[in-house]
Amino acid sequence: MPLPVPEIPENRAAQYAANIILRANQAEENVGREYIATYQHTWGVSQLGGGSIHTQQQMQDIIDAMPPTTVLLLLGMGRQFVSTYGTLLPVEYHKAAWAFEVGANNRVVIGELLPVWQSASTEAT
Give me the average pLDDT of each 10-residue run along the chain (125 residues). 68 81 87 95 94 97 97 96 93 97 96 94 50
Residue 124 is predicted with a pLDDT of: 42
Q: Position 6: which residue type?
A: P
Domain coordinates in residue numbering, the chain: 12-124
pLDDT at site 9: 67
pLDDT of 13 reads 83
Per-residue pLDDT at 10:
74
Q: What is the pTM of this model?
A: 0.79
Which pLDDT value is given to residue 125? 43
